[in-house]
């Protein structure tokens, strides 16, 4: 049998773990943030190091390459400005029509850029940490996205940092619809796939006409995600085992494997 | 207890958890992140005292859970169980042999995630589990085991370089001195 010291040590460890596991959610969240704060210097250091590396890489790059990049960006900028002017006109028209029909006014998106500090070290959750907290106006359930599409939602907010649940995490289910057919479903994690960019669109009606290549966007149902944010593209459609509804495999538009910067949508 | 050794081990655990959170290259390549703490625990259990095992389980577990979405305290007990079992049987383990070091690290790396998930499921949490998790478990066990030499070479060397060597007993004993000429 074990010596007494092992039992005493186990008792202490188990007591501490039980205390931590049984803390009320709010207190556990605060304790977690306090422990988490120990890593602030490391994240700061890593950020500075990354910045230094970027500066060095700019210095090393030949002038010709940089000039080419500036030209490309300038061209892209001109094109986007043209498009923006076009969209602004459409937006005004939309507002006028909504006013005429007495529909609720559509609020334009306001976004805030955030740097990704780190990922969840465990394999059974999909979360990231960003460098915005309550001092920057963060609060739970704010939508997080990139230029390509939806990333997830804010779940825990600290003073200077927040945790974001990524699309594909068991705690982040998204009410979605297929843009082309307007059929609605729910985006769930795909546990069978190791690819973090693949999720499942479930509970589609059995008569749904969606097919591979169609785009999935947020539907706005459920009140958490704003409607119209691109989620991904359907790659496969199949009937579930009882034939009650359809399930589709969706490849996410945002590359969750290479997230350096994200945008938080502030309503 | 050698406090320098314990501090170095805790600093290594702190860094290991940070690296797991910050570096995602292996996750991209293999589909799973390697957990470095169980292999470190196996090293600690074979080379240090029970107090260091407890400290590593508590600090390492809390640090890991604070950066993860795990309920706080989930990783503490699995780490301690793995460490205490190896520590208890260390008299029977040929700890100078690399094969024994790898075997203990592999066992710890396989047991800790399994026990953590089991604990979470018992508490009603819903972690992302499926057929893919089996592959992730294999990667975590073998990958974690592959980091064994890092801990032994790095921490052993650091310990040897910065701590006083153990005092050895001199061969001379006054009670065994043969007095002559009387």
Give the pLDDT score at A138.
92
User: Both A21 and A150 in a single domain?
Assistant: no
The pLDDT value recorded for residue A234 is 93
Of the residues A39, A59, A79, which one is the last residue of a structural domain?
Answer: A59
Phi, psi of A162, deg, nearest 5: -140, 155
- Answer yes or no: do A189 and B133 touch at CB < 8 A: no
- Is A212 contained in some domain? yes
The residue written with tokens 């005493």 in the block is A8
Q: Among the three residues A20, A40, A59, which one is the final residue of a domain in this structure?
A: A59
Tell me: do A252 and A186 sit in the same domain.
Answer: yes
Verify that A30 and A127 share a domain, yes or no. no
Query: B31 and A195 in contact by Cβ < 8 A?
Result: yes
Min Cα distance B54 → chain A (Å) is 7
Contact A120 B65 (CB under 8 A): no
Closest residue of chain B to A27, computed from CA coordinates: B72
Which tokens go with A114?
A: 């955030």
Looking at the domain assignment, is residue A140 inside a domain?
yes
Question: Does A207 lie in the same domain as A128?
Answer: yes
Residue B164 to chain A, least CA–CA distance (Å): 27
Same domain, A195 and A262: yes
As given in the structure block, the two tokens for residue A230 are: 């691109």
Cβ distance B24 to A18 less than 8 Å, yes or no, reads no
Contact yes or no for B127 and A257 at CB 8 A:
no
Find, in chain B, the residue whose alpha carbon is nearest to that of A7: B84
Residue A28 sits in the same domain as residue A128? no
Residues A53 and A142 in one domain: no
Summarised one tens digit per residue, pLDDT across range B4-57 is 888 999 999 999 999 999 888 888 888 889 999 999 999 999 998 889 999 999
> How many CB atoms are located within 10 Å of the residue A7 CB?
12
Q: Which two tokens stand for residue A264?
A: 């938080």
Instruction: Kindly tell me if the per-residue pLDDT of B121 is higher than 80.
Output: yes
Instruction: State which of A59, A75, A90 marks the end of a domain.
Output: A59
Query: What ipTM describes this predicted complex?
Result: 0.82
Shortest CA gap A254–chain B (Å): 15
Q: Is A71 on the interface with B (CB under 8 A)?
A: no
| Chain A residues with CB-CB distance to B33 below 8 A | 119, 121-123
B77: distance to nearest CA of chain A, Å?
6
Residues of chain A contacting residue B140, judged by C-beta atoms under 8 Å apart: 123
Number of neighbouring beta carbons within 10 Å of residue A254: 24
> Number of folded domains in chain A?
2
Interchain pair B57, A13: CB under 8 A: yes
Question: Cβ contacts of residue B63 below 8 Å, gap of 6+?
Answer: A35, A38, A39, B13, B14, B17
Chain A partners within 8 Å of B68 (Cβ): 120-122, 125, 127
pLDDT: which is higher, A103 or B93: B93
pLDDT of residue B1: 59
CB neighbour class for A31 (10 Å; exposed up to 12, middle 13-18, buried from 19): middle
Show pLDDT as tens, one digit a residue, over chain A (267 residues).
667 888 888 888 889 988 988 888 888 888 888 888 888 888 888 888 888 888 888 888 888 888 999 999 999 999 999 999 988 888 888 888 888 887 776 667 788 999 998 899 998 999 999 999 999 999 999 999 998 899 999 998 988 889 999 999 988 999 999 988 888 899 998 877 778 889 999 888 888 788 899 999 999 888 899 888 999 999 988 887 677 788 899 999 999 888 889 999 987
Is A180:A210 a contact under the CB 8 Å cutoff? yes
Q: Where are the alpha helices (DSSP H) in B23-147?
A: 25-30, 37-47, 50-67, 76-88, 98-122, 131-146
Residue A262 lies in a domain: yes
> How far is B68 from chain A, CA to nearest CA, in Å?
5
Calculate how close chain B gets to A39, using CA atoms only, in Å.
7
Give the Å distances, CA to CA, from A10 to A18, B78, B83: 12, 11, 11
Do A142 and A266 share a domain, yes or no? yes
At B182 the pLDDT is 59
Please report the sign of the dihedral spanned by the C-alpha atoms of residue B143, residue B148, residue B153, residue B159: positive
Q: Cβ A124–B77 below 8 Å, yes or no?
A: no
A94 assigned to some structural domain: no
Domain for residue A68, yes or no?
no
The reply to whether A213 and A116 lie within a common domain is: yes
The per-residue pLDDT for A34 is: 87
Confidence of residue B66 (pLDDT cuts 50, 70, 90): very high
- Across the interface, whether the CB atoms of A13 and B135 are under 8 A apart is answered no
Please tell me which residue of chain A has the smallest CA distance to B112: A122
Tokens of A92: 């005004």
Separation of alpha carbons A29 and B71, rounded Å: 9
pTM: 0.85
Q: Is residue A123 located within the same domain as residue A203?
A: yes
Residue B19: what pLDDT?
92
Q: How far apart are the first and last CA of chain A?
A: 61
> Cα A87 from chain centroid?
26
Provide the CATH number for the domain around residue A176.
Answer: 2.40.10.340
Contact B73 A17 (CB under 8 A): yes
Beta bridge partners of A205: A245
- Which helix (H) or strand (E) covers residue A175, if one does? strand A174-178
Together in a domain, A50 and A161 = no
Among B110, B156, B152, B150, CA closest to B133: B110
A139 shares a domain with A39: no
Give the residue numbers spanning the domain of A31: 2-59
Residue with tokens 């969706």: A250
What distance in Å separates the CA atoms of residue A78 and residue A160, rounded to the nearest whole number?
Answer: 36
What is the arithmetic mean of pLDDT over B137-158? 91
Contacts of A16 in chain B (CB under 8 A): 58, 73, 76
Q: How is residue A220 annotated by DSSP?
A: -
């Amino acid at each position: 049998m074990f010596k007494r010291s092992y039992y005493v040590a186990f008792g202490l460890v188990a007591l501490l773990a039980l205390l931590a596991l049984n803390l009320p959610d709010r207190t556990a969240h605060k304790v977690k943030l306090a422990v988490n704060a120990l890593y602030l210097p490391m994240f700061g250091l890593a950020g500075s190091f990354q910045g230094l590396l970027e500066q060095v890489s700019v210095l090393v790059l030949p002038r010709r390459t940089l000039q080419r990049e500036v030209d490309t960006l300038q061209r892209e900028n001109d094109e986007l400005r043209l498009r923006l002017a076009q969209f602004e006109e459409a937006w005004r028209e939309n507002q006028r029509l909504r006013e005429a029909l007495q529909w609720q006014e559509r609020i334009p998106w306001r976004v805030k850029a955030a740097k990704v500090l780190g990922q969840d070290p465990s394999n059974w959750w999909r979360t990231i940490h960003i460098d915005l907290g309550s001092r920057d106006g963060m609060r739970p359930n704010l939508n997080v996205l990139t230029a390509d599409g939806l990333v997830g939602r804010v779940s825990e907010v600290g003073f200077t940092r927040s945790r974001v649940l990524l699309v594909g995490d068991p705690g982040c289910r998204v009410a979605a619809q297929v843009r082309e057919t307007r059929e609605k479903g729910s985006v769930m994690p795909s546990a069978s796939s190791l690819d973090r960019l693949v999720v499942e669109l479930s509970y589609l009606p059995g008569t749904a006409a969606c097919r591979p290549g169609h785009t999935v966007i947020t539907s706005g149902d459920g009140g958490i995600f704003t409607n119209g944010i691109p989620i991904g593209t359907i790659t496969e459609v199949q009937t579930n085992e009882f034939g009650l509804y359809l399930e589709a495999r969706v490849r996410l538009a945002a590359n969750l494997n290479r997230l350096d910067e994200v945008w938080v949508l502030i309503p | 207890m050698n406090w320098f050794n314990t501090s170095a081990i805790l600093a290594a655990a702190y860094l290991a958890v940070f690296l797991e959170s910050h570096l995602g290259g292996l996750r991209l390549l293999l589909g799973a992140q390697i957990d470095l703490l169980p292999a470190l625990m196996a090293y600690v259990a074979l080379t240090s005292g029970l107090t260091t095992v407890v400290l590593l389980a508590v600090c390492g577990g809390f640090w890991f859970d604070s950066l993860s979405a795990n309920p706080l305290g989930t990783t503490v007990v699995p780490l301690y169980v793995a460490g205490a079992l190896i520590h208890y049987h260390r008299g029977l383990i040929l700890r100078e042999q690399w094969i024994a070091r790898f075997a203990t690290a592999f066992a710890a790396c396989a047991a800790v995630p399994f026990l953590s998930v089991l604990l979470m499921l018992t508490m009603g949490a819903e972690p992302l589990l499926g057929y893919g998790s089996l592959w992730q478990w294999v990667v975590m066990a073998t990958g974690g085991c592959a980091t064994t030499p890092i801990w032994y070479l790095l921490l052993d060397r650091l310990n040897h370089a910065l701590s006083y060597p153990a005092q050895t007993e001199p061969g001379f004993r006054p009670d065994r001195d043969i007095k002559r000429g009387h």
